Amino acid sequence: MNTIDNWVADLASDDGVIREQARNRLVAKRGPDVVRALVGELVDPRKRVRWEAAKALTEIGDPVAALPLVHAMTDSDDEVAWLAAEGIASLGDVGLSAALSGIAKDCKSLEYCKVAHHCLKGFRKLDLHEEIIAPVMSALEGFEPKLSAPVAAYRALRELKVGVVAR
């Protein structure tokens, strides 16, 4: 096993100090090999490994992780899903496109709607595209978010793409 594989294996340690050291080393190393390895760990059956992978990807901030983090927003563990949502928000426009795509496609449960709302609040804190995000947040806060949020997200995604092209 190479060094990256060893550090990834340490994410499963029962010792929190070892897990944190491994995560910090992976974050410091960065690069495509690290991101690829961490993305693979987002589907590990162990919650702590998924959480550590999401945390590391959030800290690295590589746009390649945007769609895998959107998928992790559907995680059965709230902490992993919440952390993935925060990681997406840290990715700027790439993260916003991925988040809106996820809402348009995966908004099938109220739990997901809550996580998606948390994600969009992260973009709002960064003052990114408030006018585009606001209708989606309203839909997520509304009476039937599973029905209205995908439509609002699709419209927002189209508006975001048009705005990017127009710049």
Q: At what angle do helices 92-106 and 110-125 cross, to 10 degrees?
A: 160
Residue 115 has pLDDT above 90, yes or no: yes
Helical segments of 108-166, H only: 110-125, 130-141, 145-166
User: Tokens 């899903």 map to which residue?
Assistant: 81
What CA–CA distance (Å, rounded) separates 142 from 144?
Answer: 6
- C-alpha 152/C-alpha 84 separation (Å) is 21
Higher pLDDT, 126 or 11: 11
- Summarize the confidence of residues 30-41 as an average pLDDT: 96
Residue 62 lies in a domain: no
pLDDT digits (tens, 9 = 90+) for 45-102: 999 999 999 999 999 999 999 999 999 999 999 999 999 999 999 899 999 999 999 9
pLDDT score, position 167: 42
C-alpha 89/C-alpha 119 separation (Å) is 6
Whether 86 is covered by a domain: the verdict is: no
Domain encompassing residue 149: 93-167
Q: Count structural domains, the chain.
A: 1
Structural domain contains residue 99: yes
Residue with tokens 């563990």: 77
Find out whether 90 and 61 touch, Cβ atoms under 8 Å.
yes
Question: Is residue 36 in a domain?
Answer: no
pTM for the model: 0.89
Within a domain: 13 = no
In a domain, 164, yes or no: yes
Q: What is the pLDDT of residue 106?
A: 81
* Of 45, 58, 131, 130, nearest in space to 95 by CA: 58
Residue 27 in domain: no
* Residue 163 forms part of a structural domain: yes
How many Å is the Cα radius of gyration of the chain?
A: 16
- Residue type (1 letter), 27: V
Q: How far apart are CA 141 and CA 31, in angstroms?
A: 38
Question: What's the length of the chain?
Answer: 167
